[in-house]
């Protein structure tokens, strides 16, 4: 089974301004096309795992219980759309204080312990930031960059000689144009093509 690791803020839901956080379900807003994108991935047999940094917990902006409530409601909405997540992994820690905060790989390795058939070279990381792409590179996963600041992220990655495998304005675009081929077949992770 192919696995897609999904960042949350900026990929699944609207990202708050820098320095702010989604602190409650009332502040959570799915991005356009996300339900359709995740439904399509699920229909094509992908395992869907959310891997998200949530530093706002350690900063006291919201509690782990608040975060669990947000994730419970998000998971429920996705189940109702036939786009159920297989698991959600989050890091509540501050910068440079753990190995689970992306670009660290701790959350991904926890996922592999939970799902031993995960093979990172056959997996995809979909994110909107440099830390997502750096984590993907460390694991050997395919790097799928989405969002509004593709050029900015690519510019930061360039000195590190990191290239993304595909970039798109949205998760739905990435699913339709890269993860699932036009003839409705799943794209093998080993078939790369930079965009």
- Cβ proximity of 6 and 146 under 8 Å: no
What is the spatial distance between Cα 102 and Cα 51, in angstroms, rounded to a whole number?
9
Is 9 in the active site?
yes
Is 132 in the active site?
no
Neighbours of 184 (CB within 10 A): 9
Q: 26: which residues sit within 8 A by CB, 6+ positions away?
A: none
Instruction: Give the CB-side neighbour count of residue 38, counting CA atoms within 13 A.
Output: 29
What is the spatial distance between Cα 179 and Cα 176, in angstroms, rounded to a whole number?
7
Positions annotated as catalytic residues are: 7, 9
């Amino acid at each position: 089974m192919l696995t897609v690791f999904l960042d949350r803020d900026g990929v699944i839901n609207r990202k708050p301004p820098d320095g702010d956080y989604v602190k409650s379900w009332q502040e959570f807003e799915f991005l356009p096309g996300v339900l359709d994108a995740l439904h399509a991935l699920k229909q094509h047999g992908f395992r869907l795992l959310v891997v998200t940094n949530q530093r706002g917990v350690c900063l006291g902006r919201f509690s782990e219980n608040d975060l669990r409530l947000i994730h419970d409601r998000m998971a429920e909405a996705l189940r109702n759309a036939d786009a159920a997540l297989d698991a959600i992994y989050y890091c509540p820690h501050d910068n440079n204080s753990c190995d689970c905060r992306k670009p660290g790989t701790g959350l991904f390795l926890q996922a592999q312990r939970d799902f031993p058939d995960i093979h990172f070279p056959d997996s995809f990381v979909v994110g909107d930031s440099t830390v997502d792409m750096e984590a993907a590179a460390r694991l050997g996963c395919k790097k799928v960059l989405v969002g509004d600041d593709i050029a900015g992220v690519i510019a930061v990655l360039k000195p590190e000689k990191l290239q993304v495998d595909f970039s798109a304005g949205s998760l739905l675009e990435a699913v339709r144009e890269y993860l699932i081929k036009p003839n409705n077949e799943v794209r093998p992770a080993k078939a790369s093509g930079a965009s």
